Amino acid sequence: MKLLVIEDDHETAAYIVKGLQESGYVVDVAHEGREGLFMATSGNYDTLIVDRMLPGMDGLAVIAALRAAELRTPVLILSALGAVDDRVKGLRAGGDDYLVKPFAFAELLARLESLMRRGTGAPTTTKLNVGDLEMDLLARTVHRGKQEVDLLPREFRLLEFLMRHAGQVVTRTMLLENVWDYHFDPQTNVIDVHVSRLRQKIDKGFDKRLLHTVRGAGYRLSTD
């Protein structure tokens, strides 16, 4: 899942980004309204977090411009303005939810999860399965058979991407862009290291291997 945070307060933005990354999300940041509008319209984001008071272009104006451009990405508004009229204005401008500062990160995360479940109104997948491997996206747990698999946040994101593309060959470029949010090759063995650790956790001790290396191409998660 890829999120965009539009927040001019650098300390608040860093706090949000750190928590979201630890929760397994890919996060981009903009600190100014027009910059955020440009990124939101040019990037492929699952949800936007928009501060109401922004330099250059007010947060509500950003949201209104997005809706005028028929971009329906869910938007969570952050604001120190908590009066009923303020919340109503935010929702009428095109926001999908409104969270008043200061806030607990756990509540922000819960509201984001709720927005993403609502999404376009279509049923949202909350569990992924490949053979006897199951991932619960809401509880953020992984089991193989009856055994729980303990994964670090990056490993969880890596496995989620592989499970969403089960049976397909996933290239290194796809992993760099979608799991690490790199749009260049860092010339390191970071992918090999993480895939090796993930393979140890989901395949070691089981008769059937699920994570396969496709020489010269990438990796494939499958029961074949």
Residues 186-211 have pLDDT tens digits of 788 899 999 999 999 999 999 999 99
Q: What is the pLDDT of residue 21?
A: 86
Among 3, 14, 4, 86, smallest CA distance to 38 is for 4
Find the mean pLDDT for residues 51-69: 92
Among 45, 41, 58, smallest CA distance to 77 is for 58
Q: What percent of the chain has pLDDT over 90?
A: 52
CB 170 within 8 A of CB 133: no
Give the CA distances from residue 131 to residues 18, 170, 213, 223, in Å, rounded to whole numbers and listed in that order. 33, 18, 18, 6
Q: What is the pLDDT of residue 125?
A: 62
Q: Token digits for 163?
A: 């499970």
Q: What is the pLDDT of residue 121?
A: 45
Position 141 confidence tier, pLDDT thresholds 50, 70, 90: very high
Cα Rg of the chain (Å, integer): 19
Domains of the chain: 2-118 (3.40.50.2300), 127-221 (1.10.10.10)
DSSP string, 16-72: HHHHHHHTT-EEEEESSHHHHHHHHHHS--SEEEEESS-SSS-HHHHHHHHHHTT--
CA–CA distance, 78 with 108 (Å, rounded to integer)? 9
pLDDT tens-place string over residues 81-96: 889 898 999 998 899 9
Position 106 confidence tier, pLDDT thresholds 50, 70, 90: confident
Q: What is the pLDDT of residue 119?
A: 57
- CB count, 10 Å around CB of 146? 6
Determine the residue type at 113.
E
pLDDT tens-place string over residues 18-33: 888 878 888 999 999 9
Task: Give me the chain's average pLDDT, please.
Answer: 89
Q: Going by C-beta distance under 8 Å and a sequence separation of 6 or more, which residues neighbour residue 176?
A: 182, 183, 184, 185, 186, 191
Q: Model's pTM, two decimal places?
A: 0.57
